[in-house]
Amino acid sequence: MKAVVQDRYGGPEHLRLEELPMPEPRASEIRVKVLACAVNLSDWEYLVGDPLYARLVGGLFRPKNPVLGSDIVGIVEKLGAGANRFEIGERVMGDLVMVRGGFAEYVCVSEAEMIRVPDGLSDEMAACLPQAGGIALTGTEGLKQGDTFLINGAGGGSGTMALQLAKEAGAHVTAVDNAKKIAWLEELGADETIDYREHDFARLGKNWTRILDMVATRGPSRIARCLTTDGVYRAVGGRVSVLLSLLFGGLFFRPAKKSIGMLMVPSGRDLTERVARAAVEGRISPHLEAVLPLSSVPEALRRTGSGEVKGKLVIKP
């Protein structure tokens, strides 16, 4: 089978399209013929081995799994011993961020992590949902009418879906991203927009009741000044040093009724089912910029890592 392979940490130039042996499912696994696999920022992190948590999960000195790609949609092609949740030929989807393997023609995955794809979702749309949609759902829980909500990194897959859910809740949304996405984010419904290359939202003298930060770069003191009383800030990712400062330094702002910390996303079947349901109900709709072949994975990862993509890119073997 064909797959895009990495054997070291580094940039997209280290990726190559290779022929690999057909994988065989172990106990409680299923072999899936990949129909679509979304590109996520986590793929970029596993590619370059940075931040540190990418290496702690993916291999300290070299990648444990040479194939990236975690938001997988495919057809069940073979069952491992004891696998009984699905039948051959069923269409399934799941977030395999801890093991990856989706940028290939076939992959073996734990059946416990997968769900059936609802009939109303195309392969490409379903692939956009598990990881990015899970972040969006978790990051907007509890939003209510009248809240002021800032999304830093609003133009990616998670940010655009979080914007949709925030507007549904009745929040006033400020979207932060680069200049090329500003007009587009306004078309999607953002009430205010900020070009982060021109203005640092933390230095504008404004306050928000909720902040969802896709890549944290600021310490807790600067964040606290941006929050209202009873305000909540959650970081999705960022350098370990910054995240640790937010976790521990954020404790000093609890007496001021400001909650600063990381977004804990309970990835797995239950969250994937919730995200798929939200998509079928029309509450979220992924913004798919392009569908690309396996040979385009290096460029797709470069563009994702540099923040150029509007919404999502999907690889279709």
Mean pLDDT of 270-299: 97
Task: Name the band, by pLDDT with cuts 50, 70 and 90, for residue 250.
Answer: very high
On the question of pLDDT at 84 being above 90, the answer is yes
Of the candidates 98, 18, 117, the one whose C-alpha atom is nearest the C-alpha of residue 58 is 98
pLDDT score, position 119? 94
pLDDT score, position 176? 98
- Measured on CA atoms in the order 100, 106, 110, 112, is the torsion positive or negative? positive
On the question of pLDDT at 12 being above 90, the answer is yes
pLDDT in tens, 231-248: 999 999 999 999 999 999
pLDDT in tens, 106-118: 999 999 999 999 9
pLDDT score, position 104? 98
The percent of residues in the chain predicted with pLDDT above 90, rounded, is: 98
Task: Name the band, by pLDDT with cuts 50, 70 and 90, for residue 286.
Answer: very high
In the DSSP assignment, the letter for residue 24 is: -
Neighbours of 148 (CB within 10 A): 19
pLDDT in tens, 138-180: 999 999 999 999 999 999 999 999 999 999 999 999 999 999 9
Task: Name the band, by pLDDT with cuts 50, 70 and 90, for residue 40.
Answer: very high
Mean pLDDT of 195-216: 96
State the DSSP string of 138-183.
Answer: HHHTT--TT-EEEEETTTBHHHHHHHHHHHHHT-EEEEEE-HHHHH
Mean pLDDT of 269-294: 97
Mean pLDDT of 272-288: 97
Structural domains in the chain plus CATH codes = 2-128+286-315 (3.90.180.10), 132-262 (3.40.50.720)
pLDDT score, position 267? 79
On the question of pLDDT at 32 being above 90, the answer is yes
The percent of residues in the chain predicted with pLDDT above 70, rounded, is: 100
Amino acid found at 96: L
Of the candidates 265, 87, 255, 257, the one whose C-alpha atom is nearest the C-alpha of residue 162 is 265
